């Protein structure tokens, strides 16, 4: 019996020893119910990464419990070698070494998914972020944010994985040195949902060769990604592949992609360039969502630099490309490869060079092309110079092709308020950049002198003659009219009195005609006015047509008849001579005392009468 008791005591001591060891191992982090690792310190992070890096069976998640200080001068403590999810939970990471990232990602194919990161300076006068003292350490972010950091995750060349940011903030508007949002040379960077990236730093916005903007998983709130570059000088451009980039062949292009449903709003004060390319490697911009770019520099801002092999800009059927730069989109420093822009059916394109004397095309080659499908609109504009340049060199001609007949409108000013040229063809057209080469014979007007001087040029699919509501999908045509009068409003001598429409009952008529020679007439007729099935009459039973048309003050009223074959012409294209706000839109709004009025006298029988007005749009002036 004594022996049994001793054995049981030994077993109990062994169990106690085992429990103490487990508690010691778990002290560095907390394993939550969902299996994620909750970390509160740099020590926790080091311990958690040792576990996640060793786990080959699944992708682990690390969650921040608070802002965390990391000794980022000891990079080996914070190396990530496997795919890992990191949820900052609204917190920040900060450290003691400037010009370094916090985490180095080394594993081939490692995908890092970052959520809810919140790294930002607090005010215009405070370049640092206040974070709590960590575990008794004297280190706080007050020693860390005065100069900024060189990214958060450094992806080495061999990584080849994807770095994804979802709903993250990186805001350093006051740290001028060693501040760079992205340092990912090995693979793609994806920004998903709502992301706000603000940077003053003298580095690139990103060292990466592929950036993709994606919407969130919530279709009702797809989110917006914002880039704000506040640095006003040049340093290798906004995006640069980096000296150790993982590009090695023309089949793997440098990439900017805005996915369908996503929005990228990008503003930059740089006077340098957007994309610093790599020799021999193509560049692709794939815009399936909305891309809004504006450069605020007051000096020339080249879009690209270095000897890339080609540049292709694809704008999808739901793509919106709104690009307002201060340098030609189709000009490159040390670049002679082909530049091709493809805009699909339904795309919206607005490319403008806002710098004084800027143009859309600088040095072009015969291989450079703009290919337009049935776009919703495609506008190219320059603030103070011909938009397509004036070069007449045979091998420096930009060709513009359309898949079908397009309306082409040139303007003398970028605001597009002074149309000087109208063209519409009957088939596909090809135009050689406005450098003096004649238009296709499909076009009835070929004023290349005017075109080559145009500061804005708009292509749109010709709709011909139609109601504006039908063209634009709007519902603005007036559908209800009302007039009210009593016996006391009418002259006692039996003469007719014009009755205004009821208060607030204005009427707008809109006609669309983008033909080369606009000519049309709008007519109106009205059914007989009835009251409980009884036609409107005078005393004695004579039927009446009480509606008239008065286009202007003092004009003689025109009778609107109830006979369809004698409809009254109320508006024609020649009425708009010299007053067209847009080359194809003819619209006018009449106040209550003009347009369609009632002409009544005191012999008409009282009642509430109603009828139907028919508007007829005829080709030609009648």
Contact 388, 410 (CB under 8 A): no
Q: Which helix (H) or strand (E) holds 42?
A: helix 42-54
Q: Which of 276-285, 333-342, 433-442, 489-498 has the highest mean pLDDT?
A: 489-498
Quick one: pLDDT band at residue 486, thresholds 50, 70, 90?
confident
Predicted confidence at residue 160, as pLDDT, reads 75
Q: What is the DSSP string of 499-530?
A: EPBPTT--EEEEEEE-SSS--EEEEEEEPPPE
| Separation in Å, CA 355 to CA 179, 334, 351, 378, 390 | 28, 21, 13, 20, 17
Predicted confidence at residue 137, as pLDDT, reads 41
Rounded CA-CA distance 543/537 in Å is 4
Please give the average per-residue pLDDT across 174-198, as a whole number: 84
pLDDT of residue 595 exceeding 80:
yes
pLDDT of residue 140 exceeding 60:
no
Quick one: pLDDT band at residue 25, thresholds 50, 70, 90?
very low
Quick one: pLDDT band at residue 519, thresholds 50, 70, 90?
confident
Higher pLDDT, 575 or 429: 575
Q: What stretches of 464-607 adopt beta strand conformation (E)?
A: 465-467, 497-499, 507-513, 520-526, 530-531, 534-535, 547-550, 558-559, 568-572, 585-590, 595-600
Q: What is the DSSP string of 305-319?
A: ES--S-EEEEE-TT-
Strand pairing partners for 345? none
pLDDT of residue 590 exceeding 50:
yes
Rounded CA-CA distance 515/425 in Å is 9
Predicted confidence at residue 473, as pLDDT, reads 81
pLDDT of residue 391 exceeding 60:
no
CB atoms within 10 A of CB 519: 15
Name every residue whose Cβ is closer than 8 Å to that of residue 18 and which is 6 or more positions away in sequence: none
| Separation in Å, CA 455 to CA 11, 326, 379, 385, 445 | 91, 14, 11, 6, 18
What would the pLDDT profile of 437-472 be if each residue is shown by its tens digit?
Answer: 333 433 333 334 445 566 777 777 667 788 988 877
Rounded CA-CA distance 422/459 in Å is 10
CB atoms within 10 A of CB 418: 11
Q: What percentage of the chain has pLDDT greater than the value 90? A: 27
pLDDT of residue 506 exceeding 90:
yes
pLDDT of residue 279 exceeding 80:
no
Rounded CA-CA distance 534/504 in Å is 29
Radius of gyration over every alpha carbon of the chain, rounded to an integer in angstroms: 35
Predicted confidence at residue 1, as pLDDT, reads 41
Quick one: pLDDT band at residue 531, thresholds 50, 70, 90?
confident
Q: Which helix (H) or strand (E) holds 63?
A: strand 60-64
Say if strands 419-424 and 407-411 run parallel, antiparallel, or are unpaired.
antiparallel
Averaged pLDDT score across all residues of the chain: 76
What would the pLDDT profile of 31-61 be if each residue is shown by its tens digit?
Answer: 999 999 999 998 899 999 999 999 888 899 9
pLDDT of residue 351 exceeding 80:
yes
Identify the weakest region by mean pLDDT among 93-107, 480-494, 604-618.
Answer: 93-107
CB atoms within 10 A of CB 622: 12
Say if strands 162-166 and 497-499 run parallel, antiparallel, or are unpaired.
unpaired
pLDDT of residue 436 exceeding 60:
no
Contact 226, 196 (CB under 8 A): yes
Predicted confidence at residue 550, as pLDDT, reads 95
Quick one: pLDDT band at residue 349, thresholds 50, 70, 90?
very high
What would the pLDDT profile of 190-211 be if each residue is shown by its tens digit?
Answer: 999 999 998 876 678 888 888 9
Rounded CA-CA distance 603/543 in Å is 12
Please give the average per-residue pLDDT across 568-590, as a whole number: 76
What would the pLDDT profile of 539-548 be if each residue is shown by its tens digit?
Answer: 566 667 788 9
Predicted confidence at residue 20, as pLDDT, reads 33
Higher pLDDT, 177 or 79: 79
Q: 453: helix, coil or strand? A: helix
- Cα-Cα-Cα-Cα dihedral sign, residues 603, 607, 612, 617: positive
Its pTM stands at: 0.74
Rounded CA-CA distance 140/404 in Å is 64
Query: Token pair for residue 613?
Result: 């007005």
Task: List alpha helices for 424-563, DSSP H.
Answer: 448-453, 468-472
CA atoms within 13 A on the CB side of 463: 20
Quick one: pLDDT band at residue 295, thresholds 50, 70, 90?
confident
Higher pLDDT, 360 or 326: 326
Predicted confidence at residue 283, as pLDDT, reads 86
pLDDT of residue 326 exceeding 90:
no
Q: What stretches of 65-217 adopt beta strand conformation (E)?
A: 68-70, 79-80, 84-87, 93-95, 103-105, 112-115, 118-120, 153-155, 162-166, 169-172, 182-184, 188-192, 195-199, 206-207, 210-214
Q: 131: helix, coil or strand? A: coil
Q: Which of 157-171, 236-250, 355-369, 414-428 has the highest mean pLDDT?
A: 157-171
pLDDT of residue 145 exceeding 70:
no
Predicted confidence at residue 10, as pLDDT, reads 37
Higher pLDDT, 211 or 474: 211
Quick one: pLDDT band at residue 234, thresholds 50, 70, 90?
low
Strand pairing partners for 379? 350, 458
- Extract long-range pairs of 129-136: CB within 8 Å, 24+ residues apart: 129/67, 129/92, 129/94, 131/66, 131/67, 131/69, 131/92, 131/94, 132/66, 132/67, 134/40, 134/41, 134/42, 134/68, 134/69, 135/40, 135/41, 135/43
Rounded CA-CA distance 172/178 in Å is 11
Please give the average per-residue pLDDT across 518-523, as a whole number: 88
Q: Which of 9-13, 253-257, 324-328 has the highest mean pLDDT?
A: 253-257
Predicted confidence at residue 445, as pLDDT, reads 32
Please give the average per-residue pLDDT across 411-429, as a whole number: 55
pLDDT of residue 71 exceeding 80:
no
pLDDT of residue 320 exceeding 80:
yes
| Separation in Å, CA 562 to CA 145, 524, 529, 592 | 80, 9, 9, 22
Contact 292, 351 (CB under 8 A): no
């Amino acid at each position: 019996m004594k022996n049994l008791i001793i054995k049981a005591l030994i077993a109990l001591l062994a169990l106690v020893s085992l429990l103490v060891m487990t508690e010691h191992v778990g002290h560095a982090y907390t394993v939550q119910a969902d299996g994620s690792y909750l970390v509160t310190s740099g020590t926790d992070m080091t311990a958690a990464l040792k576990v996640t890096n060793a786990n080959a069976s699944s992708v682990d998640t690390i969650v921040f419990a608070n802002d965390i200080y990391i000794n980022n001068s000891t990079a080996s403590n914070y190396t990530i070698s496997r795919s890992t999810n990191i949820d900052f939970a609204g917190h920040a990471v900060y450290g003691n070494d400037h010009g370094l990232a916090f985490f180095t990602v080394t594993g081939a194919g490692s995908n890092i998914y970052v959520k809810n990161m919140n790294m930002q300076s607090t005010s215009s006068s405070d370049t640092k972020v206040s974070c709590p003292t960590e575990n008794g350490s004297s280190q706080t972010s007050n020693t860390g944010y005065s100069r900024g950091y060189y990214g958060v995750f450094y992806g080495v060349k061999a990584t080849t994985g994807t770095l994804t940011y979802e709903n993250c903030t990186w805001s350093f508007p006051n740290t001028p040195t060693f501040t760079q949002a992205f340092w990912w040379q090995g693979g793609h960077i994806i920004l998903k949902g709502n992301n706000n990236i603000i940077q003053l730093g003298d580095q690139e916005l990103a060292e990466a060769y592929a950036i993709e903007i994606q919407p969130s998983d919530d279709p009702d709130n797809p989110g917006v990604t914002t880039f704000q570059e506040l640095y006003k000088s040049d340093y290798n451009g906004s995006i640069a592949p980096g000296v150790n980039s993982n590009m090695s062949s023309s089949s793997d292009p440098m990439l900017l992609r805005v996915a369908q449903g996503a929005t990228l709003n990008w503003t930059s004060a740089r006077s340098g360039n957007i994309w610093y390319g790599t020799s021999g490697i193509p560049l692709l911009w794939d815009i399936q969502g909305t891309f809004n770019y504006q450069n605020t520099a007051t000096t020339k801002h080249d879009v690209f630099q270095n000897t890339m092999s080609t540049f292709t800009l694809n704008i999808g059927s739901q793509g919106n490309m709104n690009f307002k730069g201060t340098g030609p989109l189709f000009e490159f420093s040390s670049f002679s490869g082909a530049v091709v822009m493809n805009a699909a059916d339904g795309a919206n394109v607005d490319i403008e060079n806002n710098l004084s004397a800027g143009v859309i095309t600088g040095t072009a080659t015969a291989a450079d092309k703009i290919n337009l499908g049935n776009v919703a609109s495609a506008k190219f504009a320059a603030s103070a110079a011909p938009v397509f340049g004036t070069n007449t060199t045979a091998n420096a001609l930009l060709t513009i092709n359309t898949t079908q007949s397009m309306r082409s409108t040139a303007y003398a000013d970028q605001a597009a308020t002074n149309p000087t040229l109208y063209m519409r063809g009957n088939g596909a057209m090809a135009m050689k950049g406005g450098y003096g080469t004649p238009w296709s014979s499909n076009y009835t007007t070929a004023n290349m002198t005017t075109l080559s001087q145009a500061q804005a040029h708009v292509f749109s699919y010709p709709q011909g003659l139609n109601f504006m509501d039908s063209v634009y999908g709007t519902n603005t045509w007036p559908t209800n009219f009302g007039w009210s009068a009593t016996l006391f409003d009418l002259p006692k001598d039996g003469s007719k009195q014009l009755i205004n429409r009821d208060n607030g009952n204005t009427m707008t008529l809109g006609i669309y005609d983008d033909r080369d020679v606009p000519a049309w007439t709008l007519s109106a007729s009205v059914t007989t006015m009835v009251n409980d099935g009884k036609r409107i009459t005078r005393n004695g039973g004579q039927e009446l047509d009480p509606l008239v048309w008065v286009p202007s003050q003092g004009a003689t009223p025109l009778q609107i008849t109830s006979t369809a074959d004698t409809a009254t012409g109320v508006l024609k294209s020649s009425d708009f001579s010299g007053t067209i706000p847009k080359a194809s839109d003819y619209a006018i709004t009449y106040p209550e005392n003009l347009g369609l009025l009632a002409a009544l006298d005191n012999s008409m029988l009282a009642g509430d009468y109603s009828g139907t007005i028919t508007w007829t749009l005829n080709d030609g002036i009648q």
